[in-house]
Structure 1
């Protein structure tokens, strides 16, 4: 049986938080290249939260959000989810598609653009993790869902039940001009993956 996030000590959590910081920086760089604009990034907040707290952070279970979901495979297995508010989703879609649209309705082209952005940003995080750990990791083609926060989070909650009820969440804010984009990454690991990750980082014997 592997280690769960509840069992990690402060040093182990600090190492994971530093990976979150590095990954967020790489994601900001990747996003800037993708949209060909200057993207500023606030220092990311990396926290260990219960799933119900993630829902509260987003504004409640009934708040509509955009969820982009990936399987992680290789030396670690699990899932990554990237969550965006509908406002942030619209700003990102507009940036990539070079349009001005204030509608909260995201059509198929908008959704395709968001999937590609999610792919680039999650790829930046995974690349950071691979570089720091030496582990071989790859992510699946993203799946996108537009639904209430509670419904979208119910999928990882069910999968994560065997490991624990807490999750490592990276809250990242990107700024382009007057536009502010807030995204939430979290890793949903399979039962043995935290132990493998911590050993590869040298903070678990």
Structure 2
């Protein structure tokens, strides 16, 4: 069933939103490449407006198999990013970025958790900064954290407080290549429905054909 908000978004507006996110991710990829020491590719395959129950189920599924780093997006927009790291991701990142060999799977060391927090901080920070420039808004990312309690439960608390919240979810695959080996890191970026309406209002003021989305001056 199509939601009321989703029905308000035209195909062209979806494409514009995806392009804006892609521009932000290009900057994030450049920033991440500095610590990954090789090529980094980020892309947004799709935009989904999903029901609260689906979001909780999605996060719960990943929470059972991944270490999750959470950052909030604040200011004129309200949203969050969740970076998802499997044991294999963590082992590969530890080898490439920390020079660790024969990484043991299981509980994170202090250095490994710091690395994951730094990666999330770099990617979310670069993405949010670029979005703020493109959309001419005052937004910023909070310091990332590695929640010790259930993220799904904390999301439920937020959703109970804001019953009209319907998240706009971008599922992003972050792929970086080092020594011809690739690692893919899932990233969930989501905004609440109020933020989506703000974004739509902004892009509807664009004079298509005259404004260049890459012009952030």
Give me the whole-angstrom Cα distance separating, in 2, the residues matched to 1:179 and 1:154.
Answer: 36
Paired position in structure 1 for 2:214: none
Distance 1:203 1:13, change over 3 A: farther
State which of 188, 193, 196 in structure 2 corresponds to 1:194: 196
Paired position in structure 2 for 1:144: 146
Distance 1:83 1:77, change over 3 A: same
Give me the whole-angstrom Cα distance separating, in 1, the residues matched to 2:60 and 2:140.
Answer: 31
Paired position in structure 2 for 1:14: 15
Paired position in structure 1 for 2:45: 45
Q: Where do residues 160-175 of structure 1 align in structure 2 (5 Å cutoff)? A: 160=159, 162-164=164-166, 167-175=169-177
Q: Any stretches of 5+ residues in structure 2 without a counterpart?
A: 207-217
In the TM superposition, what whole-angstrom CA distance separates every residue of 1:134-169 from its partner, at most 9, and x where no partner exists? 11111111111478xxx5445335535532266232
Does residue 61 of structure 2 align to residue 78 of structure 1?
Answer: no
Shift, 1:68, TM fit: 1.1
Pair member with larger Rg? 2
Kept in 2, the 8 Å contact 1:82–1:185? The answer is yes
Paired position in structure 1 for 2:212: none
Distance 1:154 1:59, change over 3 A: closer
Q: Any stretches of 5+ residues in structure 1 without a counterpart?
A: none
Paired position in structure 1 for 2:215: none
Aligned-residue CA RMSD (Å): 3.1
Paired position in structure 1 for 2:89: 88
Count of aligned residue pairs for this structure pair: 197
Higher-strand-fraction structure: 1
Shift, 1:89, TM fit: 2.6
In the TM superposition, what whole-angstrom CA distance separates every residue of 1:53-104 from its partner, at most 9, and x where no partner exists? 8966x99457421211112111112222222222113322332222223322
Which of 130-139 and 12-21 deviates more? Answer: 12-21
Paired position in structure 1 for 2:25: 24
